Amino acid sequence: MNDIDFADLYQEVIVDHSRRPRNFGRLEHATHSAEGFNPLCGDRLKLYVNVKEGVVQDARFEGDGCAISRASASLMTEGIKGKSKKDVLRLFSEFRDLATGVDGTDRKALGNLAVFSGLAGFPARVKCATLAWHTLRAALEKDSGVVSTE
């Protein structure tokens, strides 16, 4: 992709997480995993999740992508630990609304993830930020055999 100056967009948290991504690396004994690819930007990631009794115990990711996709995966893996699958999917829809600029998102529920609110004016970057989430949903739904409507 071309190098537009996104200085205004990159908030401190995003820069920090893109430079030092948390939960980066393979997760051994993952119960769920999926791969995601964003052809618009070239972001690739593999996500590993460990779910026990419907609750996310651990999540890690590896791959290669732009700062936004890395920061998003890093913040996401931090944000979903200890949450039920249902809550994770609800968080995904809140996050997608926030990133695309839908009014009335629950920023309190989003916590640190709210740093991506500046993306709304950049549709191409929204795909970078939601890649990890789409991959997460695919991972969670793959193993259960049941697609949740929540």
Candidates 9, 41, 55, 109: give the one binding Zn ion (CB under 5 A): 41
**Nearest-approach distance from CB 124 to Zn ion, in angstroms:** 8
Triad 150, 103, 68: Cα angle to 5°: 80
Distance CA 124, CA 121 (A): 9
Stretch that binds Zn ion, among 28-36, 41-49, 93-101, 112-120 (CB under 5 A): 41-49
**Cβ atoms within 10 Å of 66's Cβ, excluding its own:** 19
**Nearest-approach distance from CB 120 to Zn ion, in angstroms:** 16
Instruction: With CB under 5 A as the rule, give the number of residues binding Zn ion.
Output: 5
Residues whose CB is less than 8 angstroms from the CB of residue 102 and which lie 6 or more positions away in sequence, other chains included: none
| Helix (H/G/I), strand (E/B), else coil: 96 | helix
| Contact call for residue 43 and Zn ion (CB under 5 A) | yes
| Contact call for residue 33 and Zn ion (CB under 5 A) | no
| Cα end-to-end distance, the chain, whole Å | 34
Stretch that binds Zn ion, among 10-18, 38-46, 50-58, 97-105 (CB under 5 A): 38-46
Burial (0-12, 13-18, 19+ Cβ within 10 Å), 105: buried
Q: What DSSP designation does 24 have? A: B
Contact flags string 47-86 toward Zn ion, x per CB under 5 A: -------------------x--x-----------------
| Contact call for residue 13 and Zn ion (CB under 5 A) | no
Instruction: For Zn ion, give the closer residue by CB, 69 or 77.
Output: 69
Paired tokens of 144? 């259960």
Write out the binding residues for Zn ion, residues 91-150 only, by CB under 5 A: 128
Q: Which positions lie near Zn ion, rule CB under 5 A? A: 41, 43, 66, 69, 128
